[in-house]
Structure 1
Amino acid sequence: MKIAILGAGNMGLSFSKSFLKYELIKPENLHLITRNVSKLPKIAEEFPKSEISTFDQVTELDADIIIIAVKPQDFLHVAENFRFTLKKHQMVLSIMAGIKIEKIQNLLNHPMVVRAMPNSPTLLGMGITGYTAAAGISFSQLMNIERLLNSTGRSVYLEDEGLLDGVTALSGSGPAYFYYIIDAMIKAGVEMGIQENLSRLFVKQTMLGAYHLINNSDKNLEELISDVASKGGTTEAALSTFNENNLKDILKSGILNAEKRAKELNG
């Protein structure tokens, strides 16, 4: 199997590293393509056995799967300036937020499109990706795509493409929400007189422990919260402040706005 990646940025390169790590492809069967000439030396250093090009150098693309990993805002320009023609057997896997399958098919004049929405923990092989496919793609072809996606973490197939905008808002953007909350917690620790490095340690380990408790407990989230929040105690004081300021509603509103923006990106 040969893979080409259009857009050798963070996500495109993290996918590449996962494919190579799990030996899903050979290094010489990987073709990395970037618009940024200044990035070529660094990419060549990280992927010494792979083919590396700029967009304007590619007049023919020898690949079974072409992964489109450019920013959604750049896709129209990229699609209009391809110097190669897609062949009938080639599969396109888009990991762009918001751009629907039909638009990709129309701009590339190519029917074989799978659309996926990964998130940044794919950098560590701990991501989660929602994906869906155009009509006409066989089960075996879809399984090949799933094998690739699973090398970056976990994947979930969705029949309804419309749900991918929600996946984008929930898990695609989701890591940033946790970083935002963690940042607020660390700053609260500093304000209480705890050194920043210690505050960061306490918060990070608390987050890690809470994650494992969720994963290993039969209790629901309300029960887990109740276990920590004694009547009249410190946790209840914090939760009361969150509720008085409608923190849950604010978070939900932000996530729904992220979904709205994902829909807008399709144009």
Structure 2
Amino acid sequence: MKIAILGAGNMGLSFSKSFLKYELIKPENLHLITRNQSKLSKISEEFPKSKISTFEEVQELDADLIIIAVKPQDFQNVAENFRFTLKENQMVLSIMAGMKISKIQKLLNHPLVVRAMPNSPTLLGMGITGYTAAEGISFSQLINIERLLNSTGRSVYLENEDLLDGVTALSGSGPAYFYYIVDAMIKAGVEMGIDENLSKLFVKQTMLGAFHLINNSEKNLEELIQDVASKGGTTEAALRTFEENSLKETLKKGILNAEKRARELNG
């Protein structure tokens, strides 16, 4: 398989590294295309055997799969300035937030589009990606796409494209929510007099342990909370403050607003 990636930013490059790591493609069959001339030398160092180009240089695209990894707000301008025409059998995989399949098809004048929403842990091969496909894409073509996506973590096929805006809000943006909470916990530790590096260690190891408990315990989240929150104790004091300040509702509202913004990005 030959793959071209339009938009060699963080996500486009992390996908590339995963494909090469698991030998899903050969380096010489990877074509990375960037809008930023200044990035060419750095990308060439990372991918010495692959083809590296700027958008302006591409007159013809020799690829079975074209992955679109540009910012959604930039896509219309990019599509209108392509110097190449898509061939009938070329597949398109979009990883742009909020941009619906129908709009991509219209701007590219091309029917074979798969839309996916990965998240930043794909950088470590620990991401999760929701994806869906336009009509006319065969089961075998979808299996090939899934193999590629699974190299970056896990993937879930969704029949209803509308759910991808929710996936964008939940897992696409999700890592930032955890970073936000972790940051607040670290700063609370510092305020209590704990050295910042030590506070980071306590919080990060606590987060890691809690993750493994969620994954390995037969108890639900409410039961796990109650295991820690003894009556009249320290955890209960913290949880009461969270409830009094509607922390759970605030988090939910933020995620729903992220979904709303994902819908707006489609225009």
TM-score normalised according to structure 1 size: 1.00
Which residue is 1:66 aligned to? 66
**Cα distance in structure 2, aligned partners of 1:255 and 1:180:** 13
Amino acid at match of 1:120: S
Q: Secondary structure at the match of 2:135?
A: coil
> Which string of whole-angstrom CA distances, capped at 9 and with x for unpartnered residues, describes residues 28-84 of structure 1?
000000000000000000000000000000000000000000000100110000000
Please show how residues 1-267 of structure 1 align to structure 2 within 5 Å: 1-267=1-267
Structure 1 letter corresponding to 2:98: G
Alignment size in residue pairs: 267
Q: Which amino acid aligns with 2:247?
A: L
One-letter amino acid of the counterpart of residue 209, structure 1: G
d(CA) in 1 for partners of 2:114, 2:120: 19
How far the C-alpha of 1:226 sits from its partner, in A, is 0.2
- For structure 1, the 5+ residue unaligned runs are none
Distance of 2:259 and 2:253 partners within structure 1:
10
Give the distance between the partners of 2:81 and 2:205, measured in 1 at CA: 48
Q: Secondary structure at the match of 2:24?
A: coil
Supply the AA of the counterpart residue of 1:96.
M
Q: Percent identity?
A: 88
Which whole-Å CA distance do the structure 2 matches of 1:99 and 1:59 have between them? 25
Partner of 1:226, secondary structure, is: helix
Per-residue deviation, 1:86: 0.2
CA distance in 2, matches of 1:39, 1:224: 47
TM-score normalised by L of structure 2: 1.00
**In 1: Cα distance, 2:175 partner to 2:72 partner:** 19
How far 1:142 sits from its partner (Å)? 0.2
